[in-house]
């Protein structure tokens, strides 16, 4: 069915006049959408290594973005490249603040965070963890009634949620914002949430890549931009922040091509955005769990991403698998090791687990695929349904921040345990 839908989409694109689509002013070299046959995860990794940004996979076909130079090189190597057309023609004509006005741009997000902190001054503390390349503040909000600032050390178990590593993934900014709002509004209202807030140190960094996000929407039509706004050379901009972390950086699944969507940067932590995350996480030894929201595909991913081998620590692996499959019962996502898709090195979760031992997950949020769900731009209706699907997983992770191994060793003590029990 998905193959049929894709064929139909291509047919429609060939028949409708160009004015029916949003032709954004993508910088040279322009991005192209393409499908490439790749039957195995090893073949998919080979594509990514050469600069193809895989966004969705259907059976033996990978769909994603690359510039014409990369696609031509893949063709010369014998890859079956099909369905090429400019990314701008695939983008629906919607923008901030019209069709998607409920989404928050940087100024609106900043204002909303300030309002929440002002409304709940005894619970919430807001600060900046650093500045982006273009000088925007990277906001963090801490929920903890037992401290007076974002930087006061706490002995309570900690967890951090972050979103917006990739510019076009605007839904990944909305979900941490909604989770933050929900927790604050339900303190002393919902007993479970009240208990969690009283015994945990909870951080939200809703938008890591504010520069890229603003660039994606500033023209009034989505640009399908992924990276930050680093000028690499005369033609190409941007570093993929989720390939710029140091653990096993550059060992596969990223590109040295500065024009690629998965360009890993000149060096690990070469970007101010990833440097800020590094400093923030490393200076909070109480952090036990990290969750990075991305879109799309409806997946729960855990390390490793940089290699096909599983985590060697059997105890940790058991906890990861138990936590992932449990959360999948609620949000209906697919739980799996990240490299089951393809190798991706230098990402956030491999770094935070591999370097600091923090249990780390990536949620690829809704929709499940590009067709029929809007892909990176699923519209206003996706926000509430995605929040609803992920509320229990988020609360479950906050609960387990004291000891992630408890998911296996004492599952009956975890939140919603009865929901996990299969009814015969």
Task: Locate the domains of the chain by residue range.
Answer: 2-90, 106-420
Pairwise CA distance, residues 96 & 105, whole Å: 7
| Helix (H) / strand (E) containing 72 | helix 68-76
Q: How far is CA 281 from CA 69, 290, 306, 364, in A?
A: 38, 9, 20, 21
At 235, list the tokens.
Answer: 């033609």
Q: Which residue has the tokens 């603003």?
A: 214
pLDDT value, residue 374: 79
Among 65, 420, 63, 20, CA closest to 224: 65
pLDDT at residue number 12: 30
Residue numbers of the chain with a pLDDT score lower than 70: 1-29, 83-85, 87-98, 371-373, 422-424
Positive or negative CA dihedral for 59, 67, 51, 349?
negative
CATH of span 2-90: 3.30.70.250
183 — phi, psi (to 5°)?
A: -60, -45
Helix (H, G, I), strand (E, B) or coil at 170: coil
Token pair of 351, please?
Answer: 């770094």
Mutual angle of helices 210-217 and 106-119, in 10-degree steps: 130
Which residues are registered as beta bridge partners of 291?
A: 161, 361
Which residues, 6+ apart, have CB-to-CB distance to 188 below 8 Å?
A: 194
How are beta strands 81-86 and 31-37 bridged, if at all?
Answer: antiparallel
153 secondary structure, DSSP code: -
Domain 106-420 sits in CATH at: 3.40.630.10
**pLDDT of res. 172:** 98
Is residue 75 a contact partner of residue 47, using CB atoms and an 8 Å limit?
A: no
pTM, rounded to two decimals: 0.83
- The answer to whether 28 is a known catalytic residue is no
Three-state DSSP class for 137?
strand
Among candidate residues 112, 152, 364, 412, the one labeled active-site is: 364
């Amino acid at each position: 069915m998905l193959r049929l839908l894709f064929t139909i989409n291509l047919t429609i694109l060939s028949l409708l006049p160009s004015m029916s689509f949003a032709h954004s002013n993508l910088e040279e070299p322009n991005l192209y959408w393409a499908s490439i046959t790749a039957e195995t995860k090893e073949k998919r990794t080979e594509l990514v290594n050469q600069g193809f940004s895989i966004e969705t996979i259907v059976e033996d076909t990978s769909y994603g973005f690359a510039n014409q130079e990369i696609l031509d090189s893949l063709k010369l190597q014998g890859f079956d490249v099909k369905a090429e057309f400019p990314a701008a023609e695939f983008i629906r004509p919607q923008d901030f603040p019209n069709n998607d006005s409920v989404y928050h741009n940087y100024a609106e997000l900043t204002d909303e965070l300030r309002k929440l902190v002002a409304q709940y001054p005894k619970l919430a503390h807001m600060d900046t963890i650093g500045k982006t390349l273009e000088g925007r503040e990277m906001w963090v909000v801490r929920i903890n009634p037992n401290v007076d600032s974002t930087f006061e050390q706490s002995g309570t178990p900690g967890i951090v949620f972050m979103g917006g590593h990739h510019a076009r993934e605007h839904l990944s900014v909305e979900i941490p914002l909604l989770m933050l709002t929900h927790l604050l509004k339900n303190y002393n209202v919902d007993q479970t949430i009240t208990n969690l807030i009283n015994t945990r140190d909870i951080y939200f960094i809703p938008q890591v890549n504010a520069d890229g996000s603003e660039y994606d929407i500033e023209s009034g039509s989505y640009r399908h931009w992924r990276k930050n706004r680093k000028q690499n050379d005369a033609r190409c901009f941007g570093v993929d922040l989720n390939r710029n972390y140091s653990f096993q950086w550059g060992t596969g699944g990223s590109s040295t091509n500065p024009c690629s969507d998965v360009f890993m940067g000149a060096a690990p932590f070469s970007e101010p955005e990833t440097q800020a995350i590094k400093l923030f996480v490393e200076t909070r030894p109480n952090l036990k769990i990290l969750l990075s929201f991305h879109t799309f595909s409806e997946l729960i991913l855990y390390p490793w991403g940089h290699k096909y081998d599983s985590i060697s620590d059997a105890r940790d692996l058991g906890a990861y698998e138990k936590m992932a499959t449990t959360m999948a019962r609620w949000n209906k996502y697919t739980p799996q090791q990240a490299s089951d898709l393809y190798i991706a090195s230098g990402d956030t979760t491999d770094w935070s687990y591999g370097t600091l031992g923090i249990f780390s997950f990536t949620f690829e949020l809704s929709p499940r695929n590009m067709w029929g769900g809007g892909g990176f731009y699923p519209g206003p209706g996706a926000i509430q349904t995605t929040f609803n699907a992920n509320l229990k997983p988020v609360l479950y992770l906050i609960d387990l921040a004291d000891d992630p191994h408890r998911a296996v060793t004492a599952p009956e003590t975890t939140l919603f345990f009865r929901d996990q029990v299969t009814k015969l």
